[in-house]
Amino acid sequence: MAATKLEYIWLDGYKPTQSLRSKTKIEKDFSGNLEDLPLWSFDGSSTEQAPGGASDCLLKPVFMVKDPQRKDAYLVMCEVLNADGTPHESNGRATIEDDDNDFWFGFEQEYFLWNPETSKPLGFPASGYPRPQGPYYCSVGAANAFGRDIVEEHLDACLEAGLNVEGINAEVAAGQWEFQIFAKGAKEAGDQIWIGRYLMERIGEKYGVSVNWHCKPLGALDWNGSGMHANFSNSTLRDAGSKEIFDKICEGFRPVVKEHIAVYGADNHLRLTGKHETASIHDFSYGVSDRGASIRIPVMVPAKGWRGYLEDRRPNSAADPYKVAARIIKTVKAAEAGI
């Protein structure tokens, strides 16, 4: 009988930022179909998801791609369930109200490649700092781009797995990079971002380089933080044909700023300062082609007769894309009700 390696991946219960966990299940004569994957239990007391006296939690497979780095293997994204089969409180995916996949999301995932020996990004000297930011964005050359071999291996792995990566680029700070993933359906967009993060972490192991997802790992110094900009649309935005509709949906975000910030990643006050291409965490704004706004209306939207998508620039690099998408969907639906 053929043996298949199934890497069950899930999010733990750590607060304020959840971490990735995974373990390998060996299945004989696996069909290759997601629906044939069984539930699997794990020790929730070791992941902040259950007490020791009743520690079993369940893993429910919800998304699967080929594992590009192992023979006869798949990567399996899972939701965490309580022992009775109900969604665990840490399960952000279960809160997404998008059963018809009307919402499309494109996440721009920024991160730093981190030297664990110096506790600084790649490209930073052991003492002091490199040249100020500016020459690193979309750069080329050993003086400007750091960790390209890791980034290229990650891109190839994602594409081989079947993830819908739409691009990569070096970012504004030294050692900072970005990949973009798009999916028609909020849940799958989140699934793909988490698998992309998982592959980056695992590839980093090979090089002895860690990945720093924190939104402002260099503190208050004059270096950009890391975001996970959320580009989103639904049929209303894609077919709007009216500036008024875009304005009403954007205005729908104004009264629920606190609710959005609550799920847009820990320590976002360090990043959303009004500097470094961010809006202040205390304000709300939107505008065409405005990267200093809370929500940017892409310049192509009015050019196409006010049809397209919006970009919420506030989610940070460590945010859970499931929770970000769930909150955006809730706000947009509420705004639509008043149109």
CA distance 273 to 279: 6
User: Over the stretch 219-257, which tens digit does the pLDDT of each residue have?
Assistant: 878 889 999 999 999 999 999 999 999 999 999 999 999
Burial class, 205, CB count within 10 angstroms (exposed 0-12 / middle 13-18 / buried 19+)? exposed
Q: In b/e form, how buried is each residue of 128-149, taking b as 16+ CB within 10 angstroms?
A: eebeebebbeebeeeebbbbbe
Domain 3-91 = CATH 3.40.50.2020: no
CA atoms of 17 and 330, how far apart (whole Å): 22
Tokens matching residue 132: 């100020």
Residue 132 CB contacts under 8 Å (≥ 6 apart), including other chains: 222
Fold equal for 3-91 and 104-336: no
Residue 201 tokens, joined: 């972490």
Q: 198 and 9 in contact (C-beta within 8 Å)? A: yes
Write the DSSP symbol of residue 316.
B
Q: What's the one-letter identity of residue 26?
A: I
For tokens 């504004």, name the residue: 172
Return the percentage of the chain with pLDDT > 70, whole number.
100
Whole-angstrom Cα distance, residue 222 to residue 240?
40
Specify the residue for token string 């929500």. Answer: 295
**Mean pLDDT value across residues 169-177:** 97
Q: Which of 249, 247, 265 is nearest to 328 (CA)?
A: 249
pLDDT band at 10 (very low <50, low <70, confident <90, very high): very high
For the chain, the structural domain boundaries read 3-91, 104-336
pLDDT in tens, 21-57: 999 999 999 999 999 999 999 999 999 999 999 999 9
pLDDT tens, 242-300? Answer: 999 999 999 999 999 999 999 999 999 999 998 878 999 999 999 999 999 999 999 99
pLDDT of residue 276: 77
Domain 104-336 has CATH 3.30.590.10: yes
From residue 237, how far is each of 230, 307, 334 by CA, in Å? Answer: 15, 6, 14
Mean pLDDT across the chain: 96
Average pLDDT over residues 140-156: 98
Percent of all residues in the chain with a pLDDT value above 90, rounded to a whole number: 95
